[in-house]
């Protein structure tokens, strides 16, 4: 890999498929294993101590520590740069997802924006500053994390294994410091009924009717509760019904129905309280959930202030990322990187060459400011 040319490095990263295998990846060889091995070699060449830490079968985190000289015998605070290795599915893409083509001043392909662009910018900065890293005020770590797009498995594993003093999750934030974002609750509702011929529906039990009634009760009870509290950066919490599936044929009363809800929660809201309210509102329907915590890191933190002084002003975001996993462990964390979230997950994903180069310059400037 070319550790000094941002465009060439990003092209190489895009050309290594690392699609999250959950759901329909749309790729024949999903998972982060190949890109983890490639990054291991690059980081070793940059002088880091590197380990591949398997989180899920064939899906390791890449964890690198750059040697650091002690300052007056004191242990230095640890700074972690942490982009994620996985991308979303390539199903429905209108461009070659793994070409890394450069056209019209942009680099095209899955992950160009989310989040191989920010990853490349971080790696280029580490390469440019590699000789000075041992003398910086912070011990610098880099981690390529698996599974951010579904389950945040890599971040959860590393947050349990290591202690850091500040974490920058690599995300396309237009080089702004996202220090606050909403958390998420993904709810799966399941209803069961009794299948009979549709000519005599009173003999059966319609699972779709049970589901639609439960959803209506949830909307009536939960949405007003979510709207009661407002965050100055993020607004109020939200609820959206994402999918509903049920039945097998038009002339059969459905005996099964499943629906999913997407709830975005602002800092300060207790997710368990919301789950309890959903369970109370959806009596007769099974409720399962998974979630990600909201993020809030004090903008007065010295490193947030430093990022702001370097031009990365603190902002909030409606989406969630791995930074919240580390913040939940009491570690001040933010998300930051070049590129726009507007290009993430799109059918023709790209990042502009200018944004990528600006990102590499920014992270280089950040590291040098720690001298």
**Per-residue pLDDT tens over the stretch 141-176:** 999 999 999 999 999 999 999 999 999 999 999 999
Other C-beta atoms closer than 10 Å to the C-beta of 269 total 21
pTM of the prediction?
0.89
Overall average pLDDT of the 33-62 stretch: 98
Q: Token digits for 122? A: 């971080």
Average pLDDT over the chain reads 96
Please tell me the predicted confidence (pLDDT) of residue 302: 97
Percent of the chain with pLDDT over 70: 99
Judged against a pLDDT cut of 70, whether residue 50 lies above it is answered with yes
Q: pLDDT band at residue 219, thresholds of 50, 70 and 90?
A: very high
Of residues 21, 173, 169, the one with CA closest to residue 84: 169
Contact between 261 and 218 (Cβ < 8 Å): yes
Tens digits of per-residue pLDDT, 86-111?
Answer: 999 999 999 999 999 999 999 999 99
pLDDT value of residue 371 = 87
Is residue 75 scored above 90 in pLDDT?
A: no
Determine the Cα–Cα distance for residues 149 and 114; give it in Å rounded to an integer. Answer: 10
Q: What percent of the chain has pLDDT over 90?
A: 92
Band (314; pLDDT cuts 50, 70, 90): very high
Can you name the residues that pair with 334 across neighbouring β-strands? 168
The structure tokens listed for 335 are: 């998300």
Average pLDDT over residues 25-52: 97
Confidence of residue 73 (pLDDT cuts 50, 70, 90): low
pLDDT at residue 4, rounded to an integer: 82
- Domains identified in the chain and CATH numbers: 6-181+294-369 (3.40.630.10), 183-292 (3.30.70.360)
What pLDDT sits at residue 71? Answer: 66
**Residue 342 clears pLDDT 90, i.e. is over it:** yes
Convert 80-119 to b/e letters by CB count within 10 Å (16 or more is b).
bbbbbbbbbbbeebebebbebbeeeebbbbbbbbbbbbbb
């Amino acid at each position: 890999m070319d550790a000094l040319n941002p465009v060439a490095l990003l092209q190489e990263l895009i050309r290594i498929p690392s699609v999250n295998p959950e759901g329909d990846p749309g790729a024949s060889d999903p998972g982060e294993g190949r890109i983890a091995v490639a990054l291991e070699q690059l980081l070793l060449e940059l002088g880091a101590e590197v380990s591949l830490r398997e989180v899920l079968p064939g899906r390791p985190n890449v964890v690198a520590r750059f040697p650091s000289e002690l300052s007056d015998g004191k242990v230095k605070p640890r700074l972690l740069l942490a982009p994620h290795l996985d991308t979303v599915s390539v199903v429905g893409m209108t461009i070659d997802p793994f070409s890394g083509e450069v056209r019209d001043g942009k680099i095209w392909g899955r992950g160009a924006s989310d989040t191989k662009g920010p990853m490349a910018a971080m790696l280029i900065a580490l390469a440019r500053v590699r000789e000075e890293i041992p003398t910086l005020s912070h011990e610098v770590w880099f981690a390529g994390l698996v599974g951010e797009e579904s389950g945040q498995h890599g971040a959860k594993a590393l947050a349990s294994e290591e202690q850091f003093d500040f974490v920058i999750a690599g995300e396309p934030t237009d080089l702004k410091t996202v220090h606050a974002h909403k958390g998420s609750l993904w709810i799966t509702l399941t209803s069961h009924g009794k299948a009979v011929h549709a000519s005599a529906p009173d003999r059966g039990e319609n699972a779709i009717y049970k589901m639609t009634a439960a959803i209506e009760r949830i909307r009536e009870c939960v949405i007003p509760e979510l709207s009661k509290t407002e965050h100055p950066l993020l607004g109020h919490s939200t609820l959206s019904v994402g999918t509903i599936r049920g039945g097998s044929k038009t002339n059969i009363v459905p005996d099964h129905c499943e629906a999913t809800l997407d709830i975005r929660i602002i800092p300060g809201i207790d997710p368990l309280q919301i789950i309890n309210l959903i369970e109370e509102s959806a009596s007769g329907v099974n409720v399962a959930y998974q979630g990600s915590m909201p993020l809030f890191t004090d903008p007065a933190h010295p490193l947030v202030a430093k990022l702001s002084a370097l031009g990365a002003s603190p902002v909030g975001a409606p989406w969630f990322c791995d930074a919240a996993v580390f913040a939940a462990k009491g570690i001040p964390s933010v998300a930051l990187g070049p590129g726009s979230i507007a290009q993430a997950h799109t059918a023709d994903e790209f990042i502009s060459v200018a944004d990528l180069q600006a990102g590499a310059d920014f992270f280089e400037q950040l590291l040098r400011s720690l001298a």
